[in-house]
Copies of this chain bind each other. A is one copy, B any other.
């Protein structure tokens, strides 16, 4: 039975912008697996009620339901151990976990400050109030206030990337010679921005820029073909 992946969509069914869902898309491609997209909006809590929680990605593989991008990665290696592994061993698992936590704590926040209004403008109408209310509560300020200093946010983003740059100068991918979990995690954050916003996050002479191009090319241009702003290329 084909897999199904519930993915966060904007007003258009094919504007898929969640960084966590993009991780899963890339992970599935890494393993040579595919899954049909079920477009989902923030307020469609009932549609994924079967998962026992209210966030995507949710993967349905036959009868088996898995949610949370990290749990999905672990599941895919467990269920398909003969396909290319996402975690080659405990060391790879530990280092990818650290990378993920670093990314979510630092990079995601910097990018969100730059694209939150673009996200809002691409949401389905039925999601707009939910998104505004939940994010304004989380950040203790209006979306507009949260996005008020894009120049500072862009400088912060570029500073956050400092520890990544030398890795991408020495290695083709954040995971070394071949793409892996660190790449899918990092790329998810950039694709999140690319799908909703024309903002230029990186200068072309940034090693992260060239890496991002390589990621867009992976798996027959999977991410490059997605509905997004193509201003980078």
Interface positions of A (Cβ within 8 A of B): 88-99, 101-102, 105, 162-164, 166-167, 170-171, 173-178, 180, 182
Q: Is B171 touching A94 in the complex (CB atoms < 8 A)?
A: yes
Given that A89-B176, A171-B93, A174-B94 are contacting pairs, would A166 and B99 also be in contact in the complex, using a CB cutoff of 8 Å?
no
Q: Is A94 touching B163 in the complex (CB atoms < 8 A)?
A: no
Please list 9 pairs of residues, one from A and one from B, whose beta carbons are closer than 8 Å in the complex, sorted by A's number: A91-B92, A94-B173, A94-B175, A95-B96, A97-B171, A98-B99, A98-B174, A101-B163, A101-B166
Mostly, the A contact residues are: helix
Residues of B within 8 A of A171 (CB): 90, 93-94, 97
Residues of B within 8 A of A182 (CB): 94-95, 98
CB distance from A98 to the nearest CB of B (A): 5
Q: Is A167 touching B92 in the complex (CB atoms < 8 A)?
A: no
Cα separation A170 to B87 with both chains bound (whole Å): 14
Cα separation A96 to B91 with both chains bound (whole Å): 10
Residues of B within 8 A of A99 (CB): 95, 98
Q: Is A98 touching B163 in the complex (CB atoms < 8 A)?
A: yes
Q: Is A102 touching B101 in the complex (CB atoms < 8 A)?
A: no
Given that A90-B176, A171-B90 are contacting pairs, would A166 and B95 also be in contact in the complex, using a CB cutoff of 8 Å?
no
In the complex formed, the residue of B with least CB distance to A87 is B176
Cα separation A148 to B46 with both chains bound (whole Å): 53
Residues of B within 8 A of A162 (CB): 101, 105
Residues of B within 8 A of A90 (CB): 171, 176-177
Cα separation A180 to B99 with both chains bound (whole Å): 16
Given that A88-B91, A92-B91 are contacting pairs, would A97 and B177 also be in contact in the complex, using a CB cutoff of 8 Å?
no
Beyond contacts A95-B96, A97-B167: 12 other A-B pairs, Cβ-Cβ < 8 A, are A88-B91, A89-B176, A90-B176, A93-B170, A93-B176, A95-B98, A95-B176, A97-B170, A98-B164, A101-B162, A105-B162, A105-B163
